[in-house]
Amino acid sequence: MGKIISSKKTKKNTVICQIELTKNELLHLKGEMKKIHLFSKKLCSTKECIKERGNKNTTKYIPIPIDLRPRRKNYKKLTCRKLEFTKGMFYIYGLLKN
């Protein structure tokens, strides 16, 4: 996992961060250097289980917890990305609004 080495507040009320990443983590960005969202593993505090259904539990899914579900139904597109690391993996979902 990457870590923030230093941060500096600018006059435009933004923060410039210097980040240390492994080569593999940088490859996950696929060359994208704009519109990057940072999050911490410790922010993932809602617990959920992998549900298994079907013949011999062949279908597996991760339900969205009720308290995290969007209240509005006007979302057009759902994007998903799986990031796999040596100690675990992250599934990141994005709901795009109208």
pLDDT at 50 over 90: no
The continuous run of DSSP H or E covering 28 comes out as: helix 23-28
Bridge-based pairing state of the strands 59-61 and 51-53: antiparallel
Please identify which residue in the block is written with the tokens 């593993």: 41
pLDDT at 61 exceeding the cut of 90? no
Residue-averaged pLDDT of the chain: 83
d(CA 7, CA 47): 31
pTM over 0.85: no
Do 44 and 55 contact (CB within 8 A), yes or no?
no
Going 4 to 41 to 83 to 64, the CA torsion angle's sign is negative
